[in-house]
Structure 1
């Protein structure tokens, strides 16, 4: 038993000795020929550069018509005629749906007859009062009767006018859901009318952008049906109400119904030399809408109420939209990818995000500078600090900076650096004070030299063999 215990102790001592030897072999050695001083820290560096930086935000939205309505009859009746073709362009004031107005026209004729009688009676009473044959009261009564007849005529004409559904603005009609002869109730959907000369882009942004969004700003719109095309719109209005559910604000921009502009990437910007691309794209994507056509099966539009003697309508229900092409390729309801551009900074100083070192609520970067640029380092070296290695070319300097925008892994530096400065992007945790010696390590390569790597590999192999031998001795002793 004592013999087995002795072998176990010998095995443990062997393992400890092997580990100590491996640690001694891997520990850095001080060259007697070199000057004493701190060992340079391996770091990765980058240059401060100027780029064009955009302050923008991305969102999704939908296209909507600048004007759109659903035509519905105000009274029940039978469809007498249709004044449009499906998908046709119509103009303001054009009669789209004519309801059966036989009864309403008869009422207008009756009102006209009653007004004619009332006007004749009033004229006769005026002559008799002038000759003192009747009292003034009879004249007043005839004047009131004439006013009642005129009001009755106006009411009859208004009922007749409601039997005609007219286009209130220029636009394109949709696909009808009724035919001539159908009986429809009041409020039934008959046909939609869309003004697509220009469209609205409705989207939402987080509430933190509310101070940046202002009317007149330009936004960039991309649509899935038109890959490689860019559309530009202008912000028209910002909703003053913030959505309490998503904490977002609603924004509406105006977009012209055009073919857009080709998107040219930075890689092939020089290779693109065909300015005719927009024209060809516009030709290929332009939609031809047939002109309105009349068909015998659609019935005939009745004459206007004014042709029967009705007074002109005091309330104009039409609003002509000046200009605009109703044949553009864009359509309401399209899914839009919006990029809201708030500002463009052509000469913004940027560094990689990895160079920022937050500390105590402040932001710092570590510059790699020449030792001669640090007077404090020279003074401390002359006093009591150990000298730097003789081949030291760069030392560390911690600098406080003020940050701006963050885009694509780059951070804008508003204050603290200038173009061409060198900053540390990796290895900052080993630089605890200014003046630390730096050794630049290239990206993708290790900091150790081939000789040190070979020594490390041999030390690891030696320690592994010693440990394996000690373990075998312990196992053989335990078996005995």
Structure 2
């Protein structure tokens, strides 16, 4: 049997170069048309870091007092309004003191009389016309009257209630004309520009507690705000029942929004340090090991899979102990769609100013346009 080119299982030799060229073009087209996967990056940054210790605390005023009457008398004046901020020494309540003022004037007149007597006897004694004993008796009587004046002035102070320190008064529950007796509460006064925060922590953390340790506090009354302070003192005893120790911190309150009695969520900043920090979304767990995808900007955004050792975590962030240096760029969004060796398209870098969601929304709007 004679074989012809039509009966052969492969094309004629003259067609082989053309088929080879078409095959090469077919294989090269997908590679040329392939696009780099879009990802969002984040830079490893060097930030202050600490190990949080949480507790619940109660606020107290820096200074707090309830002013009460010490004598039985009628109120003559009330010189404050509910919730008013007053200064130290400001007159708040004045009681009727007409009788005491009259006694003071009588005693002052007696003092003037005794003083004149001392001066006359002193002049006579200088001329040897009066015995020295009379001069000494007159001087003693003058000192006695002066002491009585001081006693009257001290008693008169009880008829005027002044603010012992600057702060904010409470509700006004008394009125002019009301009769008060010793112990009657007239007004409360709190110094609120600095607040004391009392809380307890387990005794196992005693070695870490010291004055000056930084903390943050939050309240349900101001859910979007964090208040900063520091430990002022540590209790001298451990509670034998709860095995905890009392701690007192101080919080600045310049706007007077915090009030005594408020419940605060406290976070103590233990072991403060500088740490390399990245978003938690960059981690690729593999068993007990953690990896990240580093973007090599000098090699066309090629990815390198690198093992890291992580430390403490906080909301949305993780501390990197080994494997990354500050400033390195890693994949923060899109880690599941790429692998080591890929080149990627970097559509944005997430940081404290712009989030991953904002970057995605911006690129989606740009695509729609």
TM-score, with normalisation over the residues of structure 2?
A: 0.62
Q: Distance in 2 between matches of 1:242 and 1:110?
A: 60
In structure 1, how many angstroms separate the alpha carbons of the residues matched to 2:189 and 2:119? 49
Do residues 82 (structure 1) and 78 (structure 2) align?
yes
Corresponding residue number in structure 1 for 2:237: 241
* Structure 2 residues without counterparts, runs of 5 or longer: 1-44, 278-282, 290-310, 325-369
- 1:231 alignment partner, one of 205, 222, 227: 227
Would you say the 8 A contact 2:276–2:319 is kept in 1? no
Pair 188,245 (structure 1): closer, same or farther in 2 beyond 3 Å: farther
Q: 2:175 aligns with which of 134, 155, 179?
A: 179
Which of 208, 228, 250 aligns to 1:212? It is: 208
Secondary structure at 2:223 match in 1? coil
Report the equivalent of 1:93.
Answer: 89
**2:276–2:320 CA contact under 8 A, matched in 1:** no
Q: Within 2, Cα distance between the matches of 1:88 and 1:58?
A: 35
Match of 2:267 among 323, 339, 348: 339
Deviation readout 1:332-375 (Å, 9 max, x if unpaired): 22110000111245259x999x95xxxxxxxxxx9xxxxxxxxx
Shift of 1:193: 0.8
- Report the TM-score when normalising by structure 1: 0.48
Q: Distance in 2 between matches of 1:120 and 1:159?
A: 27
Task: Give the number of the structure whose residues are more often strand, by fraction.
Answer: 2
Indicate how the Cα distance of structure 1 residues 138 and 213 shifts in structure 2: closer, same or farther if over 3 A, else same: same
CA contact (8 A) 1:351 1:412 kept: no
8 Å Cα contact 2:65-2:188 kept in structure 1:
yes
Q: Is the 8 A contact 1:351 1:413 kept in 2?
A: no
Aligned mates of 1:88, 1:209 — CA distance in 2: 42
2:152 to 156, 177, 180: 156
The count of corresponding residues between Structure 1 and Structure 2 is 254
In 2: Cα distance, 1:145 partner to 1:110 partner: 15
Tell me whether 1:330 sits opposite 2:330 in the alignment: no
**What SS does the corresponding residue of 1:127 show, helix, strand or coil?**
helix
Measure, in 2, the Cα distance between the counterparts of 1:104 and 1:247.
57
Instruction: Please tell me whether Structure 1 or Structure 2 has the larger radius of gyration of its CA atoms.
Output: 1
- d(CA) in 1 for partners of 2:98, 2:284: 80
Map of 1:50-449 to 2, 5 A cutoff?
54-257=50-253, 325=254, 327-344=255-272, 346-347=275-276, 419=323
CA RMSD of aligned residues (A): 3.3
Unpaired segments ≥5 residues, structure 1: 1-49, 258-324, 356-365, 367-403, 421-480
Instruction: Pick closer, same or farther for the CA change 1:219–1:328 going to 2, 3 Å.
Output: same
Change (3 A) 1:351 1:126: farther
Pairwise CA distance, 1:405: 7.1
C-alpha distance in 1, partners of 2:219/2:181? 39
Give the C-alpha shift of residue 228 in structure 1.
2.1
- Mapped to 1, the partners of 2:184 and 2:197 lie a distance apart of 29
